[in-house]
Amino acid sequence: METLRNKARELLASKTVRVVIGYGRGSAGGARAVFIRDPRHADGLIFDGTCLQNLAVYLMKPEVRQLGKAALVATPHALRTILQLAAENQLPDHELLALAVTAAGDVVPLATFSAIEAHVAALNADLSADEKAELRRYEAMGLEQRRTFWEEQFSRCLKCYACRAACPLCYCSRCTVECNQPQWIPVPAHDLGNLEWNVMRAMHLAGRCVNCGDCSRACPVGIPLYLLNQELIANVFADFGFRSGLAAKSENAMSTFKPNDPEDFIR
């Protein structure tokens, strides 16, 4: 952590960046996002097992962007998010300094997208063995059991949109749920509206989600949203050979196609 704090101090004192977006100690021993602008406050930076939030979400927030050039303490998921945002033309190159922190506590500054790509290439971008096993358990459950499982889960959804707010890739300034001509996704949190919202969210993240898990952590009522995203991550890879968040210049899985995409289900 001291390496990270020193790096932050140095970056701010030399005005290389205007703000270091990182983690600080929060309530109940947890971590929270901090926006360090004064090098004297760099002591507040931490990096440990509590630092899970995907801080890349702040790269799309106008109030943070206007603070000026940023350094971002980036978990592997945040790094992939930066590449995905770049692939979607949301971030310009050379204007963000990503600070990857290794297990040993060393800080790896990544000043360009190609530097981030090289770093990410060494990571495993696939779902973990445990994640795959969990998906298989649900797949093995059978249709009716899955239906009642998700019906119960979505009956608890509040439509608070914490999942949307926490996701760095849900950056539309006017989300589809906020359009009312027509009101495509119902506003009230009744069972049907909740299903439609959750289907919409999963589909709009298909081929984009980097599996950071912030949606599920944000959900106040504990719906395992990550299952939906992981199922689509697995399917998009199996069907199209595509993974998100690996390159700053990349096609988008859902706006491209291959002439031989599988169509055994089409009569």
Partner 1 sequence: MSDFQPKIVAFVCNWCTYAGADLTGTSRMKYSPQVSIIRFPCTGRIDFMLLLKAFANGADGIIVSGCHPNDCHYSSGNFHARRRWIVFRGLLDFLGIDVRRVQFSWVSAAEGAKWAQLVNATAEQIRQLGPFRGYQRLRGAGVE
Partner 2 sequence: MEMEIRSTDREALAKLFAQWRAEGKRILAPKKSGDKIDFAPVTSLDEVSLDQVQTVQSPKTAVFPRVEELFSFSSMDGRVEIRERDPAAVPRTVIFGLRPCDAAAFSSLAAIFTWDYPDSLFSARLAATAVVGVSCSRADEFCFCTSLGGGPGATTGSDILLTAAGGGAYLAEIVSEKGRQLVAGAGGLFQPAMAKNKESFLAKVDVAFDRDKIGPALAALFEDTAFWAEQSLRCLGCGACAYVCPTCACFDIQDEGGVSGKRLRCWDSCGFGLFTLHTSGHNPRPLQSQRWRQRLMHKFAYMPERQQVLGCVGCGRCSRACPVDMNILEHLRAVAEAKP
List interacting residues with partner 1 (CB under 8 A).
Answer: 138-139, 143-151, 155, 184-185, 188-196, 199-200, 202-203, 206-207, 227-228, 231-232, 235-236, 239-240, 253-257, 259, 261-263, 265-267
43 vs 231 by CB, closer to partner 1: 231
- Picked from partner 2, partner 1, none, the partner binding residue 172 (CB below 5 to 8 A depending on kind) is none
Q: Does 44 bind partner 2 (CB under 8 A)?
A: no
- The count of chain residues that interact with partner 2, using the rule CB under 8 A, is 37
Could you give the string, one character per residue 195-214, with x where binding to partner 2 holds by CB under 8 A and - elsewhere? -------------------x
Under 8 Å between Cβ of 176 and 196: no
Closest C-alpha among 95, 27, 23, 30 to residue 59: 95
Asked whether 135 and 264 are in contact (CB, 8 A), the reply is: no
d(CA 139, CA 235): 12
- 252 three-class SS: coil
37/258 with CB nearer partner 1 = 258
Tell me how far apart the alpha carbons of residues 33 and 47 are, in angstroms, rounded to a whole number.
11
Q: How far is the CB of 261 from partner 1 (least distance, A)?
A: 6
Distance in Å, CB of 201 to partner 1, minimum: 11
- CA separation (Å) from 78 to 55, 73, 135, 234? 6, 8, 23, 20
Distance (Å, whole) CA 49 – CA 71? 20
Which of partner 2, partner 1, none does 217 bind, CB closer than 5 to 8 A by kind?
partner 2
- With CB cut-offs between 5 and 8 Å by kind, which of partner 2, partner 1, none does residue 182 bind? none
In angstroms, the CA 37 to CA 118 distance is 29
Residue 87 binding: pick among partner 1, partner 2, none (C-beta 5-8 Å cut-off by kind): none
CA distance 7 to 60: 24
Identity of residue 164:
R
By the criterion CB under 8 A, which residues form the site for partner 2? 26-28, 30, 32-35, 53, 57-58, 61-64, 156, 158-162, 164-166, 178, 183, 186-190, 214, 217-218, 220-222
